[in-house]
Amino acid sequence: MTWERTHVDEGARRQWRSTIAAAQAGDRQALDELVEGWLPLVYNVVGRALNGHADVDDVVQETMLRAVDNLGSLRDPDSFRSWLVAIAMRQIRDRARRRQPDRLEESAAREATDFAELTVLRLQLEGQRREVAEAVRWLDDEDRQLLSLWWLEVAGELTRRELAAAAGISRQHAAVRVQRVKERLETARGIVRALDSACPGLRDLTARWNGRPDSVWRKRLARHIRGCGYCGDTREAVVPAERLLVGIALVPIPVGFTLSLALGGKTAAAATAATSVGWSAKVMAALTQPAVAVTAGATIVAGGAYVVTQAPDAPPSRAAAPTAASTARPPSPTPSATPSAMSSPSPSPSRTRKVDLYGTIVDAADQAPDPNAEPAALPRRPESGITSTWGAKAVMQHRGESVTLSGQGYVLVRWQIAPHDRPGALAMPTWTGLKGEIFHVASGGGRRMDDVIGDGSDRGYVTGMGGPDIGYTVLPDGTQQMWQNEYFYLDGTVTLHQNERGASYGLTVMPSSWDKVNDDVRYGPPQGAIRYGLVRDNGKDTAPVPQYVTRATPADPATVAQRSRVSPS
């Protein structure tokens, strides 16, 4: 990058910082510029995510309303763009949770402009750029939401850090998700290309198709294309989607688009009264004045309504249109590759009488021991035997599966983390309906799951929790980092639940014995393991209690609290 470009970008950043600061102070013209400058970005994020559904205007309205109403809480003007896009994505997800299956009448459906068509027409796209825009119709809602962000990243309007923040995922997970969306987009491009062809087999297949893209027909058409020599014969080089998206700018907001910022329909007087203290009162006082300021592309009228009044080729406003280069924050230090969340130790528990609780609390994540440090001696507890509702071995791979264990003895819980299948936040397994006592006595298997195990050449794994190519499995804050094998001692009855709701994982659960636990924790580096195991048991009633355990039987076992405090039976 040249010195001149750097100088211009820094100047643009300073201008937006000063505009945001002025708007926070109640400057009407600054707020006018802010809304006008960033409304196209929000409109494109929402429009592409919802593909021009009739709800687009409402979601854009709610996003900008929340941004204006909460602007005073923004502490760092440099984070305004990622903050604004994150608000838009939350509104999109909220709308998806609220809405019932689409039952729009045909007339209402016709009124909702297909955003893919709008993109093609307004930007006059042809060839493979048109193909990419039309392929978006074939993506599922979740993929389309991420594509709306990736599209803007490729076009230089967002950074990867901002994309991840807006999607609510890690940068590593974002890389995996984006790659999957790219693959599905390429499949959809093939469908668009095939439908434009004259394949007789495809004509027969689609004879009863209503012309509306959906997941069922996407699979049927993709299956046909894979086995069809005619449809699979691409007569021109296919340009990667990211190279095509670079040339597709923001779709201009349609003339006549109205954005009302009257705080959810309140009257000006009520809105001002409700926010009589602080920033919102200043802004509403400015917004509700009859005087208006005409800006490039929008007019703010009485009551705080922005109406697009000028054609798309109108000259830019005083503040340059936002781009990734003009508003990007300085890069932050690269995060550690270690996926486990390192939280500070929990405060010491309040003093309680021995009769109130048993065991110790393990809710502060511990550090991995030295690989060559041999474990302490494992106390031997009584073993009369453990029975399991799954028999000799329970293999739980899916949410909702559970195993009930009863008796007196040792239990092995072996972890299988699968970020190559689905990375992200992990919903921990939980112990419910405890009768008696349970202790977390040892960790083994030759390694912790966050130990480095390779260079990524083995299915993308760098640690047992994942790698940058496939994404990481991330534990909830404060959760103890698990080892390959975790051992527990049970004297009573308890049910272990597999609560997979985010990251993919599996559990193998089986009765064990003191001899097997002792052998495992002493299997250390000389035998080829990464580290010796860790003995947690002190042989007494004060030994550690596992996290996520309760005597209750909640309807949703995933709601069990992390804090390991259990009353006596």
Q: How confident is the model over 407-445, as pLDDT tens digits?
A: 999 999 999 998 888 888 899 999 999 999 999 999 999
Q: Give the per-residue pLDDT at 267.
A: 31
DSSP letters, 2-27, are: -HHHHHHHHHHHHHHHHHHHHHHTT-
In the predicted structure, residue 332 carries a pLDDT above the cut 90: no
In the predicted structure, residue 185 carries a pLDDT above the cut 80: yes
Q: Comparing 239 with 314, which gets the higher pLDDT? A: 239
Q: Give the per-residue pLDDT at 311.
A: 41
- What is the C-alpha end-to-end distance of the chain, expressed in Å? 68
Average confidence (pLDDT) over 86-102: 73
Q: How deeply is 355 buried, as exposed, middle or buried, from its count of CB atoms within 10 A (0-12, 13-18, 19+)? A: exposed
- Tens digits of per-residue pLDDT, 46-90? 877 776 566 778 888 888 888 888 888 888 888 888 889 889 888
Q: Give the per-residue pLDDT at 113.
A: 41
Question: What are residue 434's DSSP bridge partners?
Answer: none
Average confidence (pLDDT) over 33-41: 83
Q: Give the per-residue pLDDT at 237.
A: 67
CA distance 244 to 132: 8
Average confidence (pLDDT) over 99-121: 45
Q: Comparing 128 with 530, which gets the higher pLDDT? A: 530
CA distance 249 to 119: 9
Mean pLDDT for the chain? Answer: 75
* pTM for the structure as a whole: 0.44
- Tens digits of per-residue pLDDT, 530-552? 999 999 999 999 999 999 999 99
DSSP letters, 386-410, are: EEETTTT-EEE-STT-EEEEEEEEE
- pLDDT confidence tier of residue 276, bands split at 50, 70 and 90: very low
Q: Comparing 149 with 481, which gets the higher pLDDT? A: 481
In the predicted structure, residue 308 carries a pLDDT above the cut 70: no
Please state at what angle helix 141-154 crosses helix 80-98, rounded to 10 degrees.
Answer: 160
Average confidence (pLDDT) over 290-304: 39
What is the rounded (10 degree) CA torsion for 177, 183, 184, 185? Answer: 100
- Tens digits of per-residue pLDDT, 138-181? 888 888 888 888 877 877 777 888 888 888 888 889 899 989 98
Q: What percent of the chain has pLDDT over 70?
A: 69
Q: Give the per-residue pLDDT at 211.
A: 78
CA distance 363 to 360: 9
Average confidence (pLDDT) over 173-190: 88
Q: Comparing 119 with 464, which gets the higher pLDDT? A: 464
Q: What percent of the chain has pLDDT over 90?
A: 25
- Tens digits of per-residue pLDDT, 197-250? 767 788 788 887 877 788 888 888 888 888 887 776 655 567 777 666 655 556
Q: Comparing 489 with 291, which gets the higher pLDDT? A: 489
Q: Give the per-residue pLDDT at 121.
A: 47
Q: Are 450 and 481 in contact (CB under 8 A)?
A: yes
- Tens digits of per-residue pLDDT, 342-389? 333 333 333 334 446 888 877 777 888 999 999 999 999 999 999 999
Q: Give me the phi and psi of 332, to 5 degrees please.
A: -90, 165
CA distance 337 to 476: 17
Q: Which of 141-145, 292-296, 481-485 has the lowest average pLDDT?
A: 292-296
Q: Give the per-residue pLDDT at 104.
A: 38
- pLDDT confidence tier of residue 283, bands split at 50, 70 and 90: very low
CA distance 248 to 131: 12
- Tens digits of per-residue pLDDT, 225-238? 888 877 766 555 67
Please state at what angle helix 56-70 crosses helix 80-98, rounded to 10 degrees.
Answer: 130
Q: Give the per-residue pLDDT at 522.
A: 94
Q: Give the per-residue pLDDT at 430.
A: 96
Q: Give the per-residue pLDDT at 233.
A: 62
Q: Give the per-residue pLDDT at 61.
A: 84
Task: Select from 121, 143, 133 the least CA-distant residue to 49.
Answer: 143
Give the angle 294-295-299 at the CA atoms, nearest 5°. 55
CA distances in angstroms from 298 to 156, 197, 257, 288, 308, listed in the order given = 24, 42, 9, 16, 4
Average confidence (pLDDT) over 101-110: 39
How far out from the chain centre does Cα 180 lie? 14
